[in-house]
Structure formats: C-alpha cells, structure tokens
Amino acid sequence: MGKEVLANMDINYLSPYIRVAMDSRIEPPWHLQERVIFDYELLYVKEGRILVTVEDREYFGNPGDIFLFKPKQRHSIRVLGENCFRQPHIHFDLFYQQDSPEVKVSFKPLESMTDHEMRWFREDVTKNPAMQLPNKICLRNTRYFEDMLFDIINEFTMKMPFYEINIKGLFTKLWTYLMRENYMENNPAVLGNIDELIRIKDYLASNIDREITLDMLTKEFKISKFHLVRLFKKAFGITPMHYNRLARINKAKEMIQFTSKSFTEISEMLGFNSVNAFSRNFRNVEGVPPSFYRRKG
C-alpha cells in the first residue's frame, strides 16, 4: 500500500493483517515493563484485574474492559491481586503493507529500538475522526464483542485453508462494531433516539412512490424539524430528504435495468412531477442520465 493511501487514512482501504491472536492466562505477580509496539494491540480483560499505564495515564482494567494500544505509545501492564489474569488479545495492522509479515511483536522501550526496527512503526490512523478509538473501551454489552474476538483467535489458531481471507472479514466486523459503539457513546442523543430514527428510516424506505417532506415527517412522528434533521444525519450520514431521494433513484435504477417500463411510467410511479424532473434528479444523484442504465438490444 502506498504512503499516499495511508496518509489519507481512507476507511475504504481497510485491509487488516492479524499478526498474533491468542488467549493467554498469566499468574500473579506479573508486570509487563514499559514498551512500545510497532502495530496495534486489542487486549480484552476476560478474568482478573490489571493496572494499565499509557503515556503516563493510569487505567484500572476489570473483566469486560478492552484496551487498545497504538503504534509507538508507551504502555505497561501490571496484574493486581492474587487471581489469574486472562487476556485474549490480538496484534494487527489496520492496513496491510508489504512488510506486514516481517514485523514482530515488540517488548522493547523506544530507546532500545534499532534503526531497522524504527522503520516498522505503523502510522496511527486512529487519529482520524472516522476511526478514532480511545485506549480504554467500555461496552454496554461485551458478549457480542467477546464472541467475535474468540472467532478471530480460533481462526488464527486453526489456520484452515483460506483463513487469511476469513480472518480479515471477522476482524473488520469486530472493528466496525467498536467504532459504531464508540460513536454512539459519544452521541448520546442519537443513541437515545435510535429506535425512533430507525422507524423514520423504514417509513422513508417504504414510501419511495412519493416525495416525503419534512412537514410530513414531523407530523407523522411528532418531532421538530431541527432535531429530526440533526439526529438523522448523525445516525445515517445524510438528511432524511436526501435519503428519500436516494431510495427513489435506486428503485428507478432497478426498474430501468429489469423492466421495460418507459422513463415516463417510472417517474410517475416514483412520484416525480414530470419525466424532466425525474431525469434531472437522477443525473444529480448518479452523475449520468437514466438512459445509461437501460440495456441496449
């Protein structure tokens, strides 16, 4: 992968490489001295208690807590109490690079790195708002995350044919779940209204035969225009009006490709005022006229 792609930190290029995936148990007393790693590590506290220090900030870890250690971040771990510490964990690159198979798991402090090892440090793409995650992650429900994490560990351990492909998909699902949960945690208004927002989205999807206005939605769902637009966009990335238009244009594309209906018929069925209005909206969304999708011959 080129440096220009990494610099853009585009989530569409996500291609994870799993370096290590294992479930280990550690008996106290145990202390991982301060180190830096080249890649990322996700550590899940399954059993026991730990004290984690990241860049001089201390965190207590209890069962159900998740820690994300990032490239070049100073961190250390100390087991607390007398109980065994169980730590399912994975080391990974978010973007596969040519040297990904060569990079090792580090246990060294930064000042002990060789010049060759210094070239192994990954760019921390979690600085990008689209992928931002904290060092300590607390989920509302860890069962789903835990199941996904152990699926990755089992796949890595078994190494069945084509496991490399499957493990990328499993990790992408887990990473998406963490980002989504973190996004909801940082947007409590969306989280508190998510059921209502999903109902509004379903309403729009089931009414693609007409143009839905904000007035219609506020009357139907008893919500102010300001809150509706703001929360809907935060939840789904677009306004409800834009979503309605996209749904209608997507249905038009389907009808153009798989039926023999004329553009006039399609525009009427989808509630456009005229075939010209339909064509204009279609081009604005798709960048091409409706005829682009009509099969020839």
Among 136, 161, 186, which residue terminates a domain? 186
* Percentage of the chain lying above the pLDDT 90 cut: 90
pLDDT tier, 267 (very low <50, low <70, confident <90, very high otherwise): very high
pLDDT tier, 13 (very low <50, low <70, confident <90, very high otherwise): confident
- Residues 93 and 182 occupy one common structural domain: yes
pLDDT at 296: 62
pLDDT tier, 4 (very low <50, low <70, confident <90, very high otherwise): very low
- Residues 154 and 90 occupy one common structural domain: yes
What is the domain-level CATH number for residue 111?
A: 2.60.120.280
pLDDT in tens, 15-55: 999 999 999 999 999 999 999 999 999 999 999 999 999 99
- Residues 155 and 25 occupy one common structural domain: yes
pLDDT tier, 12 (very low <50, low <70, confident <90, very high otherwise): confident
Structure tokens, 143: 């069962």
- Residues 156 and 213 occupy one common structural domain: no
pLDDT in tens, 233-248: 999 999 999 999 999 9
pLDDT at 104: 96
Among 186, 214, 246, which residue terminates a domain? 186
Average pLDDT over residues 266-276: 96
pLDDT in tens, 155-185: 999 999 999 999 999 999 999 999 999 999 9
- Residues 142 and 213 occupy one common structural domain: no
- Residues 238 and 155 occupy one common structural domain: no
- Residues 77 and 173 occupy one common structural domain: yes
- Residues 164 and 247 occupy one common structural domain: no
Among 156, 186, 216, which residue terminates a domain? 186
Range of the domain at 79: 3-186
pLDDT at 2: 43
- Residues 286 and 214 occupy one common structural domain: yes
Instruction: Using the predicted structure, report yes or no on whether residue 9 has a pLDDT greater than 90.
Output: no
- Residues 163 and 196 occupy one common structural domain: no
Average of per-residue pLDDT values in the chain: 93
Please count the structural domains in the chain: 2
- Residues 61 and 84 occupy one common structural domain: yes
Average pLDDT over residues 246-272: 95
SS (H, E, C) the chain: CCHHHHHHCCHHHCECEEEEEEEEEECCCCEEEEECCCCEEEEECCECEEEEEECCEEEEECCCEEEEECCCCCEEEEEECCCCEEEEEEEEECECCCCCCCCCCCCCCHHHCCHHHHCCCCCCHHHCHHHCCCCEEECCCCHHHHHHHHHHHHHHHHCCCCHHHHHHHHHHHHHHHHHHHHHHHHCHHHHHCHHHHHHHHHHHHCCCCCCCCHHHHHHHHCCCHHHHHHHHHHHHCCCHHHHHHHHHHHHHHHHHHHCCCCHHHHHHHCCCCCHHHHHHHHHHHHCCCHHHHCCCC
- Residues 16 and 123 occupy one common structural domain: yes
What is the domain-level CATH number for residue 283?
A: 1.10.10.60
